[in-house]
Amino acid sequence: MNAIRTRFAPSPTGYLHVGGLRTALYAYLLAKKHGGQFLLRIEDTDQTRLVEGATENIIEALRWAGIDFDEGPGKGGPCGPYIQSHRLEIYMKHALELIAAGHAYHCFCSSERLDELRARQTANKLPPAYDKHCRNLSPAELEEKLATERKSVIRMKVPLEGEMTFSDLIRGPVTFGYKVVDDQVLIKSDGFPTYHLAVVIDDHYMKISHVIRGEEWLSSTPKHILLYEYFGWDAPQFAHLPLLLNSDRSKLSKRQGDVAVEDYRQKGYLPEALVNFIAFLGWNPGDTREFFTLEELIKEFSLACVGKAGAIFNLEKLDWLNGQYIQRMPTRELVSRIKPLIAARELPFKNDEYLEQVVELLKERVTVLPDFLTNGAYFFDAPTHYDTAIVAKAWQPDTAQYIKEMLNVFESIQSFDAVSLEHAMREYTKNKNITMGRLIQPLRLALSGVGQGPSLYHMMALFGKEETRNRCLEACRVMTL
């Protein structure tokens, strides 16, 4: 196989979409599997939609996900610049070459005329398309308009008859009749190229071997292949990925949930879990394995295993997968990831050893990283209120007396560890002829303010004798008010 060079070419119009992350991931995996290069190119030719800071966010999101590009903004490379607005002279030069060769033409139609044309076509239930009004201007008419008209665009000439068939690496042979392919604008009136011209020129000069993109670009591929033919260049291979869908099979959109990578990052999903999840949105290894590191994905990935059907973005599956990754992650690594969250909330804690024990107690009970702080808030601050439903259910008139007596028993324990604490409670309740349940839930309530959580005995051991006593006495005081 010849050198594989793939690219991810987003527009800097906001945060990176999860669909964009999938496109970048698949392009990255294909290149790395075959020892090739993966490029990042910023397509900012639509100046009206630019969002300040979006390019930096895209680069940071890729870095966070572990997808490292070989060439691109900030890294450079032999085929730069990698930002399209820095390449305008290249596009104009090639557009004029197309005109000279008879493959493109100046169009002087006003926006008002085009709006009227679209309105008539819509009223007649016809697909919107340019009517080629300026395609066959005489040399004299063209010269006059170039001299007198202030604005024009450059359009490509699509054959009037016939069809094109090309091979898609995911969908196989795809055929389009030229009658449904519009005379696409290549250079806008502001001098900037459209996506269609810029992508072909850039992919050629950046030596891209495989173009991987969403299926929404499938209908544009005939225009791009025509441009390759007009320029006399070899076209890359194309692979159009299936749509990402909501659970109701509608196209994934922000109206029904989060769609930006940044949303999931802020919510505390692990990049390893999100990448693993994204990889399966269209691709499948062909067996029952569900957990893949990035290195394993590189080894296993193949476009032949990418399906045509839309892929459901199942948030419940992502939650499950993220929880599994948290459970499997080494405790010290988890501590390093939650410490920035702790610092941001200015939560007190003793030391890293204490955090490691907190993580060990909670890691099977959390879905995302902030759950360590919300579900386990009592590990950082003593409770200031108590679950009223649990109070009504578990706190009885004699509960405070039992707890205070139990605390006196705890004072005599030499080793304040989980095993010793459980043994002491069993002996006490046996002597008092009461069930363990009479103490377990009230003690949990006193320590945490809630009725559920990890092992009570391990919680007390972690808090230590003094903190356990203080929290229990405070709960007894509050309950008697």
Q: CATH 3.40.50.620: does it fit domain 87-241? A: yes
Burial-class residue 100 by CB neighbours within 10 Å (0-12, 13-18, 19+).
exposed
Residue 454 φ/ψ region, left for φ over 0, alpha for ψ in the -120 to 50 degree band, beta for the rest: beta
Catalytic residue among 151, 254, 350, 430: 254
Q: What element of type H or E holds 476?
A: helix 456-479
Angle, alpha carbons 380-384-386 (nearest 5°): 110
> At the top level of CATH, which class does the domain 5-72+244-312 belong to?
alpha beta
Angle separating helix axes 54-65 and 271-279, nearest 10 degrees? 90
- The rounded distance, in Å, linking the Cα atoms of 163 and 179 is 8
Q: pLDDT tens digit string along 377-414?
A: 999 999 999 999 999 999 999 999 999 999 999 999 98
Q: Band of the pLDDT at 321, cuts 50, 70, 90? A: very high
Q: Say if residue 292's pLDDT is above 70.
A: yes
Q: Say if residue 1's pLDDT is above 70.
A: no
- The rounded distance, in Å, linking the Cα atoms of 271 and 273 is 5
Give residues with Cβ within 8 angstroms of 18, minimum separation 6.
Answer: 244, 252, 259, 260, 261, 264, 278, 313
* Mean of pLDDT values over 4-15: 96
Q: Band of the pLDDT at 6, cuts 50, 70, 90? A: very high
- The rounded distance, in Å, linking the Cα atoms of 446 and 471 is 6
Could you tell me if 318 and 272 are in contact, meaning their C-beta atoms sit under 8 angstroms apart? Answer: no
Task: Give the pLDDT confidence score for residue 256 in this predicted structure.
Answer: 66
- The rounded distance, in Å, linking the Cα atoms of 439 and 428 is 10
Angle separating helix axes 315-328 and 271-279, nearest 10 degrees? 130
Could you tell me if 381 and 347 are in contact, meaning their C-beta atoms sit under 8 angstroms apart? Answer: yes
Architecture per CATH, 329-376: Orthogonal Bundle (1.10)
Encode 417-438: b = buried (16+ Cβ within 10 Å), e = exposed.
Answer: ebeebbebbeebbeeeeeeeeb
Q: Where are the chain's structural domains?
A: 5-72+244-312, 87-241, 329-376, 382-481
| Amino acid of residue 390 | I
Give how far the C-alpha of residue 21 lies from the chain's centroid of Cα atoms, to the nearest Å.
5
Compute how many other C-beta atoms are within 10 angstroms of the C-beta atom of residue 268: 20
Task: Give the pLDDT confidence score for residue 481 in this predicted structure.
Answer: 76
Helix residue ranges, H only, 289-380: 294-300, 315-328, 331-345, 352-362, 371-374
- The rounded distance, in Å, linking the Cα atoms of 48 and 50 is 6
3-state secondary structure of 57: helix
Pick from 6, 1, 63: nearest CA to 32: 6
**Fold match, 5-72+244-312 / 87-241:** yes
Q: How far is CA 231 from CA 8, 104, 162, 350, in A?
A: 23, 12, 20, 67
Q: What element of type H or E holds 218?
A: none
Give how far the C-alpha of residue 399 lies from the chain's centroid of Cα atoms, to the nearest Å.
50
Q: pLDDT tens digit string along 166-175?
A: 999 999 999 9
Encode 300-330: b = buried (16+ Cβ within 10 Å), e = exposed.
Answer: bbebeebeeebbebbeeebeebbbebbeebe
Tokens of 10: 């987003």
Q: Band of the pLDDT at 318, cuts 50, 70, 90? A: very high
Q: What element of type H or E holds 470?
A: helix 456-479
254 flagged as catalytic = yes
| Amino acid of residue 160 | L
Identify the bridge partners of residue 39 per DSSP, sorted by sequence position: 7, 71
Q: Band of the pLDDT at 480, cuts 50, 70, 90? A: confident
- The rounded distance, in Å, linking the Cα atoms of 92 and 75 is 26
This model's pTM is above 0.75: yes
DSSP output for 64-98 = HHT---SBBTTTB-TT---BGGG-HHHHHHHHHHH
Q: Band of the pLDDT at 306, cuts 50, 70, 90? A: very high
- The rounded distance, in Å, linking the Cα atoms of 228 and 201 is 8
Q: What element of type H or E holds 247?
A: none
- The rounded distance, in Å, linking the Cα atoms of 349 and 168 is 56
Task: Give the pLDDT confidence score for residue 258 in this predicted structure.
Answer: 81
Q: Say if residue 255's pLDDT is above 70.
A: no
- The rounded distance, in Å, linking the Cα atoms of 323 and 411 is 38
Architecture per CATH, 382-481: Orthogonal Bundle (1.10)
